[in-house]
């Protein structure tokens, strides 16, 4: 993703959690291509440095910070370091998340359930909590929660994951109401099936359970979308770009569904 001169986010600083691969990586690259300084965060240094280097090679600005979103001290340290270096934090994308076991609710252990909530909900809370004071100092900003279509509709698998994504949706709406007076807009994005390691792992799991080839499962998944195929990480990244840009100055507390028509059926 090559840098565009005089981009829509020129000079703004964007923290993207869980941006060492998949949707988060695509978001960081798209934001940087429009002039933002992308702060790559995650727990895998090698992949984080790779993403940052690819952004810089394309003419953008980026740096990597190790970040476990469940560690409040580390979240505070990273956000403080970014603010002290750049004097502003304009954008936070709460993307970091895990899937959790795909099994019925009654088969979950409490530890399994709480682990998913710890990353997907508490992690997003900690990042927002620490970033918002800096946004208030800077006169505004944008927060985007990466939720899921399963934060809106139900399904027969991954109950903990889906519950956390519903929480992310309401966290965005609540934040939008609380911080509108501070010129902080808060929205949620709801991806459908996007070809990421998370979806690939899900199909592998289903392939083993059902004894069906993963290629056949992928074809079935493609056919379930009116548009004819599942999405790519960049499809979500461009939705985020719109929400954090000035073109969306009247958009807050909303949910942007990007799912190839999956939930329209």
pLDDT in tens, 21-32: 999 999 999 999
Tell me, yes or no, if 179 is annotated catalytic: no
Return the number of other C-beta atoms located less than 10 Å from residue 190's C-beta. 24
Task: Give tens-digit pLDDT for 106-135.
Answer: 999 999 999 999 999 999 999 999 999 999
pLDDT of residue 169: 98
Residue 229 — pLDDT band, cuts 50, 70, 90? very high
Q: What's the pTM value of the predicted model, to 2 decimals?
A: 0.94
The answer to whether the beta carbons of residues 38 and 29 sit under 8 Å apart is: yes
Which residue among the candidates 83, 145, 161, 262 is catalytic per the annotation?
A: 161
pLDDT of residue 198: 76
Can you count the helices (H) and strands (E) in the chain?
9, 7
| 63 sits in which H/E element | strand 61-66
What superfamily in CATH does domain 13-194+232-258 come from?
NAD(P)-binding Rossmann-like Domain (3.40.50.720)
pLDDT at 252 over 60: yes
- Calculate the average pLDDT of the chain: 95
């Amino acid at each position: 993703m090559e840098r565009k001169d005089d981009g829509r986010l020129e000079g703004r600083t964007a923290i993207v959690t869980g941006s060492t691969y998949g949707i988060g990586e695509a978001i960081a690259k798209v934001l940087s291509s429009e002039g933002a300084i992308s702060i790559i965060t995650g727990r895998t240094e090698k992949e984080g440095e790779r993403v940052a280097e690819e952004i810089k090679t394309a003419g953008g600005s980026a740096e990597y910070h190790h970040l476990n979103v469940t560690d409040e001290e580390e979240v505070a340290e990273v956000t403080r370091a970014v603010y002290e270096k750049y004097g502003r934090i304009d954008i936070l994308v709460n993307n970091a998340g895990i899937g959790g076991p795909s099994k019925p609710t009654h088969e979950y252990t409490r530890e399994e359930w709480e682990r998913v909530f710890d990353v997907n909900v508490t992690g997003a809370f900690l990042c927002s909590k620490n970033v918002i004071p800096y946004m208030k100092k800077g006169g505004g900003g944008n927060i985007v929660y990466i939720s899921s279509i399963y934060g809106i509709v139900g399904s027969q698998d991954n109950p903990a994951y889906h519950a956390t994504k519903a929480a992310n949706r309401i966290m965005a709406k609540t934040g939008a109401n609380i911080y509108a007076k501070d010129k902080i807009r808060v929205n949620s994005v709801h991806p459908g099936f996007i070809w990421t390691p998370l979806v690939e792992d899900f199909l592998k799991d289903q392939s083993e359970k059902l004894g069906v080839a993963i290629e056949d499962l992928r074809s079935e998944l493609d056919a379930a979308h009116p548009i004819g195929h599942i999405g790519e990480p960049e499809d979500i990244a461009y939705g985020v770009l719109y929400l954090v840009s000035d073109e969306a100055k009247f958009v807050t507390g909303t949910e942007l569904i990007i799912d190839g028509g999956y939930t329209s059926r």
